[in-house]
Structure 1
Amino acid sequence: MTSKISAILPDLSPWRSSRDFRLLWVQGLIAHFGSAMAMIALPLQIKDLTGSPLAVGAMGAVELVPLIVFGLYGGALADAADRRKLIIGTEAGLGVLAVILLVNAMLPEPMLWPLYVVAAGVSAMAGLQRPALDALIARIVPHDQMTAAAALNNLRWQLGGIAGPAAAGLVVAYAGHAPAYGITLAGFAVSVLMCLRLAPAPAAHDAEKPSLRGIAEGARYAASRPVLLGTYAIDLVAMIFAFPLAIFPFLADDLDAEWSLGLMFAAISFGSVLLSAMSGWTTRVRRHGLLVVYGAAVWGLAIAAAGWFDNIWLVLVCLALAGAGDTLSGLGRMTIWNQTIPDELRGRLAGIEVLSYSVGPQLGQVRSGAMAGWTGTRAAIWSGGVVCVAGVALLTAALPKLLRYDATTDEDALRRRAQQEAATRE
């Protein structure tokens, strides 16, 4: 019985084998709890100031360009600079942006435009930071522990994602926006102190300086790998058409359940945590492309059902199922990326990945906000889920190599394993 339970529980091997992984795990939990507070407080403040779903959805529009520009540049920078210093600098920058939100919220009449400026700034900082974080994980975790590391990282993010939104809904409702932003600031301050304890992660001696040519080299590598293209394309389709989080405040109103807004955000994280907490079996999977496809399909179906049902409890169950599907797909994507991409290109490819899993949600916010103003909130949600499932099916048919990916036979995976083992021996 004990062995069966152990086979289901998360694999803790990365936690035991890497001190830096442990530091990043705890740091990320604290930082994400604080940022989740702002993630809820910011669209709620825009809603309170404007009453417009389009204004809330416009957050995605102002975040899009900085994310694209700084995501690509951040990827090139992660291959050319010390990844530890880059993470510390961007985390401090996010703290400064939290100060702006806090000061604005404390004004007698808070202004709208700083909220969009900060949203764009957060997008830029995230674009610079995420490639360095992802590339660092690929360096400090052994090759055969990548799926376990992805599951543990997702568990960390989603624990913050459950506690942060649930707490934010209560904090904003009973204390206002300023205390929520204050908690965000405190989280980033602690995070910076923990990141200072990470070991240096310098670039290779022959690393090129960030340049358009270097970014183009990374893009050419991605374009030459159908398996990578499939992971990016499926995630983009799923997020663009089935990421309606920006209009959750209006969904809560439509269902006459304003009290449920925090639970809607938390339900997605709950489903993700549940899948991560029972992820032990995923470490034995070798065909990770199947996880990508099936997980994205579950996400789309569950989002469609959430928009169709008019019972709030059924909606919450569907959102939890969606979170589990998204996590399953994410585990497959992260494992493929970290198992196959060479270290000298990992930052630049991580920059492309930032666009894959971040631009999609931003466009999804714009799409859902605009469509909700045209067709109504619930129609905007369920129709997006249906299109997501159809898009995943078409992409799977067009890129069959993704389904056939096997970590034990794929040439890129075997090459990356040999590269990491050689670096360990040096």
Structure 2
Amino acid sequence: MSRAAARSGRIRVRFLDTRPLRGSAPFRALWIGTSAAQLGGQIATVAVLAQVWELTGSPVGTGAIGLATGLPMVLFGLLGGTLADTVDRRALVRATTVGQLVASAGLCAQALAGNTSTVLLLTLVAAVTSCGALGAPARRTFPARLLPGDQVAAGLALNNVSFQASMLAGPALAGLIIARWDLPAAYAAQAAATAVSVLTVLRLPAMRPEGADATDHGPRPRRGVRPKRGGWSVVLRRPRLWGSMATDLSATLLAMPIALFPLVNETRFGGNPETLGLFLSAVAVGGITAGLLSGTVTRWSRAGLVQLSAAGVWGIALACFGLAGPLWLALTCLAVAGAADTVSVITRGALVQLETPDAYRGRVSSMEHVIGVAGPELGNFRGGLLASATSATSSLVFGGLSAALAVAAVTAANAPLRAYRIPAPRTEPVPAASG
């Protein structure tokens, strides 16, 4: 909470904080390109799902899409973290985004050619994912380099809102495109969106990793070709970092509910497909609402306490969802959980970027990326196993309460995280864009 709000004893509700878009041309270009790429990615996801089903007619085939995307995300995400602490991050993101564009063009070409090989299709999907994962850690460090410290959370909130919006609009737009112009048009839309992302990345300033040791004139640029040692262990050496990541892992690993939605729908609401869709929409609506009102929390300096509180609310809301009888109450619980998740993601991202010395940001960002990818998947698997042995209600309630208790344990054990405050605004100018 901001100091002014604390003194007045009131919480002032604010809409989305757009200062990063107004004050930083490089960030504005980055946000436009990222938003376009996210929308294109959602369109391609639906197109790939439709094409694989058309080719195989098997859930094993559609399940293989997860393998083609999940493994590259983890493997190339970790490699990308090391590269992001070694080379100019702008150059790395430029190269990987161009790689995504080439692979996207390949997807369009194979659809135009009437490809019947699932292996070729999934290979191109893996190529798109690999390029994106390789550049993801470097891309995550950009807000902290382009924005003042007190606007980093606001920048992440803007990214989150565009992501949530793409998740809502992308699949519907994909359905319209495929129905009207078939699969090649959907892949062409993804390629066009990726091309926009390439053009906007060109406007970013050079961003070589900075040394962890500061001089009287600020951080010393790193001139070596190897990343500074200790990039992975820096998380363990800094309680705020391991506490923030442990909070996120506890929330997703112990309480992820998505895999249980079909069972809850079947046993409690008659298996209506529309109800199942409402479950997913409720989470997204809660997330978007929190994003649009994120100006309320992005100006609060106590990012650690905000993340811990939001993660606790996430767990409690999902436990309540497990017990909810009426549909309106179940959807309300999911919307609250979605809102809490968005607040937690925004504050965690800002804390991790600002607390990590720039020389290590690439590798730490890759660890955050892997936790964000693996935690929800493992959490869904855990929830499904427990539900098969007990019931959906037991799995949700036990998981939600366990997550809340784990977050409470981190809160009690990690005083530095509880006390963390967003740094005061810096006075030096933000780098200008360069071609």
Counterpart Cα distance in 2 of 1:171 and 1:318: 34
Aligned ranges 1:77-156 → 2 under 5 Å: 77-99=83-105, 101-102=107-108, 112-113=118-119, 117=123, 120-156=126-162
Q: Decide which of 17, 20, 27 is 1:14's aligned counterpart.
A: 20
Q: Distance in 2 between matches of 1:389 and 1:112?
A: 43
- Give the helix-richer structure, 1 or 2: 1
Q: Which amino acid aligns with 1:222?
A: V
Gaps of 5+ in 1: 408-412
- Are residues 1:363 and 2:378 paired? yes
Residues 393, 261 of structure 1: alpha-carbon distance in 2 compared, 3 angstrom cutoff: same
Task: Tell me which amino acid in the other structure corresponds to 2:271.
Answer: D
Aligned to 1:236: 249
Q: What is the deviation of 1:378?
A: 7.5
| Cα distance between partner residues in 2 of 1:320 and 1:96 | 38
Could you say if the C-alpha distance between residues 145 and 222 of structure 1 is closer, same or farther in structure 2, counting changes exceeding 3 Å? same
**AA matched with 1:349:** V
1:384, CA displacement in angstroms? 4.2
Counterpart in the other structure of 1:406: 421
Which residue is 1:333 aligned to?
Answer: 348
Instruction: Summarize the Cα distance change of 1:20–1:108 in structure 2 as closer, same or farther, 3 Å threshold.
Output: closer
Alignment partner, residue 169 of structure 2: 163
Shift in CA distance, 30/220, structure 1 to aligned 2, threshold 3 Å: same
Query: Which sits farther off after the overlay, 140-149 or 106-115?
Result: 106-115
SS at match of 2:252: helix
**CA offsets, 1:314-364, max 9 Å, x none?**
554433222211111112212212332222222222222212322323434
Q: Determine which of 170, 191, 195 is the counterpart of 2:197.
A: 191
Larger radius of gyration: 2
Match of 2:236 among 182, 202, 223: 223
8 A Cα contact 1:162 1:267, kept in partner: no
1:248, distance to aligned residue in structure 2 (A): 5.9
Measure, in 2, the Cα distance between the counterparts of 1:169 and 1:142: 40
Secondary structure, in 3 states, of the residue corresponding to 2:230? helix
Match of 1:410 in 2: none
Partner of 2:222: 206
Aligned to 2:303: 288
Residue 302 (structure 1) aligned to one of 292, 313, 317: 317
Q: Residues 186, 250 of structure 1: CA spacing in aligned structure 2 closer, same or farther, 3 A cutoff?
A: farther
Cα distance between partner residues in 2 of 1:47 and 1:242: 30
Superposed displacement of residue 202, structure 1: 3.6
Alpha carbons of structure 1 residues 184 and 149: separation in structure 2 relative to 1, 3 Å: same
CA separation of 1:108 and 1:117: change in aligned 2, threshold 3 A: closer
Alignment of structure 1 residues 373-392 onto 2, 5 Å: 384-392=399-407
Q: Higher mean Cα deviation, 126-135 or 24-33? A: 126-135
User: RMSD across aligned C-alpha pairs, in angstroms?
Assistant: 4.0
**Against the structure 1 CA distance between its residues 108 and 127, is the aligned structure 2 distance closer, same or farther, given a 3 Å change threshold?**
closer
State which drifts further: 26-35 or 8-17. 8-17
Matched residues in 1 for 2:412 and 2:389: separation? 32
1:22 CA displacement: 0.7
Q: Deviations over 1:263-289 (max 9, x none)?
A: 554433322221121122213322211
The separation in 2 between residues aligned to 1:106 and 1:307, in whole angstroms, is 46
Asked if 2 retains the 8 angstrom alpha-carbon contact of 1:20 and 1:199, the reply is yes
**Amino acid in the other structure paired with 1:295:** A
Q: In 2, distance between residues paired with 1:165 and 1:382?
A: 31
d(CA) in 1 for partners of 2:34, 2:135: 12
User: In 1, are the aligned partners of 2:12 and 2:296 still within 8 Å (CA)?
Assistant: no
Paired residue type of 2:93? I
Gaps of 5+ in 2: 1-9, 211-220
CA contact (8 A) 1:63 1:362 kept: no
TM-score by structure 1 length?
Answer: 0.79
